[in-house]
Structure 1
Amino acid sequence: MEQLNTLDAGFLHAEDSDRHVSLAIGAVAVLAGPMPSFDSLVSTINGRVLAVPRFCQVLHTQPLDLGAPHWVDDADLDISHHIRLAALPRPGDDAALSRWVAEVMERRLDRDRPLWECWVVDGLAHNRWAILMKVHHCIADGIAATHMLSRICDDGAGDTFATDIRAAHESMRVLRLPALTLNPIEWIAGAWRTSVGVTTAAAQALQGVTQIAGGLLRPAAASSLTGPLTSMRRYASVEVSMEHVTNICNGFGVTINDVALAAITDSYRTMLLRRGERPQPDSLRTLVPVSVRSADASDETDNRVSIMLPCLPVEKADPVAQLQAVHKRLARAKVSGQRQAGSIFVSAAKAIPFALTAWTVRTLTRLPQRGVVTLATNVPGPRKRLRVMGREVVRLLPIPPLALKLRTGIAIMSYADHLAFGVIGDYDAAPDVDELASGIERAVERLTSVSAGHWRSTPVGTLSLVQGG
């Protein structure tokens, strides 16, 4: 019997705490036509997706949360409940697709069935069609979900940008007692090295816990970016050239993640000014998930993330100053212990009775949090273009969830030669998500223009292009 771990179950508790929230994540693949027949698509998708055990299982919960929810095979699985057909009204442009995506994502998945849906969408302009995959966050984080959803493609995801993230090159550090030896000097030396390692790791994690707790408890500057949510959503997306992003990285010695967050910073600054609000240094404390998934765990269906809580520098008007500030703040956060603190918290929670952790998470997520303002999550996608039944996936667009009184959220996904941004917002509180998306594109264009001159005048050494922490 496979049980949900504390982090996975936390997404269910967070969803339960607000009836206006749907904690599903998703992605839209836009394909070049013509679209195959729906029956042939159902047959193909059915055969490929159901190879993932989670897509054939339902959650069983324990009365009064006396035990963690666990997965059981669905004996009554009906694929027609999960693979569905839709058609966009004319002209089938990007705006129509975005409106339809928002409507699909705002609806909660039925917990009486396996927690996923696959929508085949006809009627896109330029002889295109699309597939939307929607999975509950309790099943997987972004990297795991991308790996799962790639199964519908002809050759899977193949090589992905996930191999670039830090966790893929780090083995989980396990503290071991020194080996027994007859030489007392060697044993004492080994014990000393172990104790120093434990002390250093504990001190770093404690520092990270302090910073995360401070970020959650310290209210951000008051703005229209946080507050109650409705059940309706808006969605927008934009793509930028990976070549341009890489040129910016080379020009300023920063990472892809730095560039993405700097572009997001500039667009949020413009949004606040457009709304008549003055950007403050603490106006945009951002929840940035950081993968702790090792390379050999890419096919594990669970959540393996920690968090960082940097304040993005919306108070700065100059795009280069924004980029440099983002780079410095993320570098500090990475070495501060925030990443380790999140992992240690999840591990420690496993030792606490599940009923207590469930009650605690539900209580905390019902409180009006004012420390975090938005979400920015970077999901590494496939390096090469994908195909489904021989049709090329020309665009791959990520869809983040909304919760915890955050009125907007942004997911970033690398795919082949593009970096895509998917922006979701509350329908009433964030009517300008289109401007937020287009502002990201303009910010990258500005940085590209500036970096061209900077690259010619500044010598740059070995650069890191690592994503996602």
Structure 2
Amino acid sequence: MTGDRLSVLDNSFLELEQGPSHMHVGALLVFDGPPLDCADFLEHTRRRLHLVPRYRQKVLTPPMDLGRPMWVDDPCFNLDYHVRHTSLPRPGTQEQLTKLVARVFSQRLDRTKPLWEMWLVDGLEDDRFAIISKAHHALIDGMSGVDLISVLFDLTPDPPEAQQPEPWEPQPLPPTTRVVAEGAREVALGPARLARRALRSVREPARAVEGALGISQLLGPPVVSPAPRSPMNTSIGPHRRVRWVPVELDAVKQVKDELGGTVNDVVVTAVAGAVRRWLLHRGAPADRELRAMVPVSVRTEDQRHTLGNRVAAMRAPLPVHVEHPVARLEAVRSAMTGLKESKQAVGAEALTGLQDFAPPTLLAQAARINFSTRLFNVIVTNVPGPQFPLYVLGRRMAEIVPFAFLPKDHALAFAVMSYHGGLRFGLLGDYDALDDLDVVAAALEASLAELIEAAGGSPPRSGRFDRAAAESRRAVR
């Protein structure tokens, strides 16, 4: 595995990390029970690292950008650097935890080391502890992150003791001459490989036409039709705020069963309603359709438990201009159905398939166009998680809260993950541009509540949106 080249998509996430835009993703995992001994947790992690060898590897960029970067073993790998231990001061409230999570996600990962960290956090109230996990998007996408969780954690509180793996010895770094030679060879052989691919296209014309149409839809009209500007699209700094909103998965499923659509349609609709409330609270116009970037997994069954990215960047309408929640859901459902029938996902797969043929600079440009921040207003990513409890050293995981990333000029992102009957919305905001992230979280609760009520459910009536909005207005004054 040492010397594997990064895929075009994986490398694009490295290239998109510029200025204050950190391209790591991750999650907050909260556990019931007394805190773990850090030495025990380190040993537990060490015994399973051989299952995810990429976690001991770093990125090596070829000289003169000859070819794509590659994964190589880190000869200085030290698990103590990547697994860190901290504690909240008493009383260990959720507010204190959100501040810690925000600080962790405000720090860029060190490119000279393997691109991941885990923080073991003691001192939570109600006899709980937490793990904050983050990894660079070049290393994992949402689905591979879920697979990783299932590898590192257990299905029962008393699993068989993991066998001690063979001592790990890093493979030597490849000589610079070999890296340069292989990079030059990759560039030189590109035209010949492209010609062979063209010959195959002649033999399989239907597949070739479908891929070409997909790429044209992926990189075509939206390029000349950027997303409308909104208060979410402004310059950002390196610091972050986080919030999270819980909801029962059954309540969301009731909405889709009674009103139509899928769980993802309900998620996007709830986000649209939250953004609408927040815009109106800010006195900004909510009379136009915005656009969400909705990553869709194209990971096949045989690619499970593999790292790297297998996602298509689908750009979906976000109907904040639709006032009634049921009509808003219908607008989302219709739009998402149209996306599924389009060739965007096919185009993303076809673009990835060209990585062994086209010049790296051309592929990097295509990937940047595909993920161009001008083409969408906000990220809304929804990942299905395990619907059974997970454990670490006998302690049960109570909840998982996911967090996405903020691209250039994007001050807000929504990440959603289900786990054991629950659904958690993780909100990531720029520290300065989203000082009213509490209002967004409360607006999301209200948006979910009106959908549940419209489906005949009984949502809690907390009035949190009104209180958060009032507090925000007082802070402005």
Which TM class, normalised by the smaller chain length? 0.7 to 0.9
Q: Which of residues 258, 262, 267 is equivalent to 2:265? A: 258
Cα distance between partner residues in 1 of 2:28 and 2:378: 22
Q: Tell me the CA shift for residue 243 of structure 1.
A: 0.9
Q: Give yes or no for the alignment of 1:140 onto 2:140.
A: yes
Other-structure match for 1:80:
80
Q: 2:286 is paired with a residue of what secondary structure?
A: coil
Aligned pair partner of 2:296 in 290, 294, 306: 290
* Residues 288 and 377 in structure 1, CA contact (< 8 A), matched pair in contact too: yes
Residues of 2 paired with 1:112 and 1:199: CA distance?
A: 40
- State the shift of 1:216 in Å: 3.9
> 1:450 is matched with which residue?
454
Query: Match for residue 302 of structure 1?
Result: 308
What are the residue-to-residue correspondences of 1:56-75 with 2, within 5 Å? Answer: 56-75=56-75
Counterpart CA distance in 2 for 1:243 and 1:175 is: 49
Aligned residues of 1:28 and 1:398 also touching (Cα < 8 A)? yes
Inter-partner Cα distance in structure 2 for 1:311 and 1:365: 16
1:232 offset after TM fit, Å?
Answer: 0.5
Aligned equivalents of 2:313 and 2:333: distance in 1?
A: 16
Residue 231 of structure 1 pairs with residue 233 of structure 2: no
What one-letter code is carried by the residue in structure 2 that aligns with 1:116?
A: W
Q: In structure 1, what residue type is equivalent to 2:250?
A: E
Deviation at 1:355, TM superposition (A): 4.1
After TM superposition, the score normalised by the length of structure 1 is: 0.83
Q: Distance in 1 between matches of 2:49 and 2:28?
A: 16
Question: Which residue in 2 is equivalent to 1:422?
Answer: 426
**2:326 is equivalent to residue 317 of structure 1:** no
428 and 370 in structure 1: CA distance in 2 versus 1, 3 angstrom threshold: same
Q: Check whether the contact 2:215–2:348 (CA below 8 A) recurs between aligned residues.
A: no
Are the aligned partners of 2:8 and 2:367 in contact in 1 as well (CA < 8 Å)?
A: no
1:411 paired to 2:420: no
The SS at the match of 1:201 is helix
Structure 2 distance, partners of 1:204, 1:357, is 17
Aligned: 1:12 with 2:14 = yes
Note if contact 1:216-1:372 (Cα within 8 Å) is conserved in structure 2.
no
Counterpart position of 1:248: 255
Q: Which amino acid aligns with 1:26?
A: G
Letter in 2 for 1:292: V
Distance in 1, matches of 2:232 and 2:385, equals 28
Compute the displacement of 1:439 (Å).
Answer: 2.0
2:104 aligns with: 104
Contact 1:32 1:127 in 2 (8 A): yes
Q: Spell out the pairing of 1:127-166 with structure 2 (5 A cutoff).
A: 127-155=127-155
How far did 1:203 drift? 6.8
Indicate the residue corresponding to 2:174 in structure 1: none
RMSD of aligned alpha carbons: 2.6
Offset at 1:434?
Answer: 2.3
Q: Structure 1 23/96 Cα, relative in aligned 2: closer, same or farther at 3 Å? A: same
Look up the equivalent residue of 1:314 and give its one-letter code.
V
Unaligned runs of 5+ in 1: 157-173, 179-190, 454-469
Q: Does residue 340 in structure 1 map to residue 366 in structure 2?
A: no
List alignment gaps of at least 5 residues for structure 2: 157-196, 458-477
Q: Deviations over 1:409-440 (max 9, x none)?
A: 11110111111111101111111222222322
SS of 1:4's partner is coil
Equivalent of residue 267 in structure 1, options 259, 269, 274: 274
> Does structure 1 retain, via aligned residues, the 8 Å contact 2:215–2:346?
no
Contact 1:88 1:96 in 2 (8 A): yes
Kept in 1, the 8 Å contact 2:280–2:286? The answer is yes
Distance in 2 between the 1:400 and 1:152 partners?
Answer: 21
> How far apart are the structure 2 equivalents of 1:198 and 1:56?
38
Percent identity between matched residues is 34
* 3-state SS in 1 of match to 2:22: coil
Q: Which sits farther off after the overlay, 417-426 or 146-155?
A: 146-155
Residue in 1 that maps onto 2:383: 379
Query: How much has 1:83 moved relative to structure 2?
Result: 0.6
SS of 2:374's equivalent in the other structure is coil
Question: Contact (CA 8 Å) 1:267, 1:440: kept in 2 or not?
Answer: yes
- The match for 1:281 among 288, 293, 296 is 288
TM-score by length of 2: 0.82
Which residue type is aligned with residue 353 of structure 2? S
- Aligned counterparts of 2:77 and 2:257: Cα–Cα separation in 1: 50
Counterpart residue type for residue 445 of structure 2: E
- Alpha-carbon distance in 1 for matches of 2:50, 2:241: 30
My pick for the range that moved more, 141-150 or 254-263, is: 141-150
In structure 2, the residue matched to 1:433 is 437
Distance 2:382 2:233 in 1: 21
CA deviation vs aligned residue, 1:136-183 (integer Å, no higher than 9, x gap):
110111101221133221239xxxxxxxxxxxxxxxxx99989xxxxx
The 10-residue stretch of structure 1 (374-383 or 215-224) with the greater mean CA deviation from structure 2: 215-224
Equivalent residue number for residue 52 of structure 1? 52
Question: Residue 4 of structure 2 contacts residue 71 of structure 2 at CA under 8 Å; is this kept in 1?
Answer: yes
Task: State the distance in 2 between where 1:289 and 1:149 align.
Answer: 20
Indicate conservation of the 8 Å contact 2:229/2:377, yes or no.
Answer: no
* Aligned match of 1:168: none
Correspondence for 2:395 among 391, 403, 409: 391
Q: SS at 2:21's partner residue?
A: coil
CA distance in 2, matches of 1:308, 1:278: 25
Structure 1 position 349, deviation (Å): 4.3
Q: How many residues align?
A: 416
Contact 2:6 2:69 in 1 (8 A): yes
Is the deviation greater in 86-95 or in 255-264? 86-95
Helix, strand or coil at the partner of 1:452: coil
Distance of 1:221 and 1:294 partners within structure 2: 34
Q: CA deviation at 1:64?
A: 2.0
Aligned-residue offset at 1:75: 2.2
